[in-house]
Amino acid sequence: MACNELENIIKSCDNNTGGIYTAYVGDMDDIASITEDQATWSITAMTLAALTPAMSFYFKRNTSNYTDEATNDLIAGSSFYTKTINLVFHRRDADKSKAIKILGEGQRYLYVVVGDANGTFWYFPYMQLTAVTGGSGTARADGSNYNVTLVGMDEFAAYTMSEAIASSLLVATS
């Protein structure tokens, strides 16, 4: 007996553009409440604890991405998604080095909301900083950068959320 009824996947006529243009990052502990709608695979409400807005991460276009990869073990009967977010920040400096160091301190659990080039916002819970690479480049045209990798595992693929909910995460509440 099947667990859920199969659903259609309809071919879209919308333009499909790759890449991400923004990321909002905060501590999982700062989420006061979250409402998930499993029927629509979306976050319908999210409230942060007082005075704890998410941090905005902005980067150059065509540099950063995310993946949401399903792993299904047919023998063990387990299924989960490995979520990976790769962010590239150009021009190395002390402020970015410090912010990246804090991002990974204590192996903290982070939530990340990513805005993609199609105008969709995606919610990634329980992410952790797993790698920071980058450097000076070789030639003058290479530039210097940081490559930051955040990884998490979850039972579900990333949920969507409205731009209004995503933007509300950037505002401190009283």
Is the confidence at residue 1, as pLDDT, over 60? Answer: no
What's the whole-number mean pLDDT along residues 129-157? 91
pLDDT for 173: 62
Section 84-102 average pLDDT = 94
Return the H-helix or E-strand segment holding 114.
strand 110-116
If pLDDT is split at 50, 70 and 90, which confidence band does 95 have? very high
Give strand pairing partners of 5. none
| Alpha carbon distances (Å) from 82 to 9, 101, 117, 151, 156 | 22, 23, 21, 7, 9
* Model confidence pTM above 0.75: yes
Task: Determine the Cα angle at 96 with ends 91 and 101, to 5°.
Answer: 135
- Strand, coil or helix: 23: strand
Does the CA dihedral 172-109-122-118 come out positive or negative?
Answer: positive
**Sign of the CA dihedral running 101, 147, 22, 9:** negative
What type of residue is 141? A
Kindly indicate the confidence band of residue 141, based on its pLDDT and cuts at 50, 70 and 90: confident
Name the average pLDDT for the chain.
90
Return the structure tokens found at 31: 């989420």
Q: What is the pLDDT of residues 124-138, one digit of tens each?
A: 999 999 999 988 888
For position 11, what pLDDT does the model report? 77
Q: What is the pLDDT of residue 2?
A: 67
133 neighbors 100 (Cβ within 8 angstroms)? no
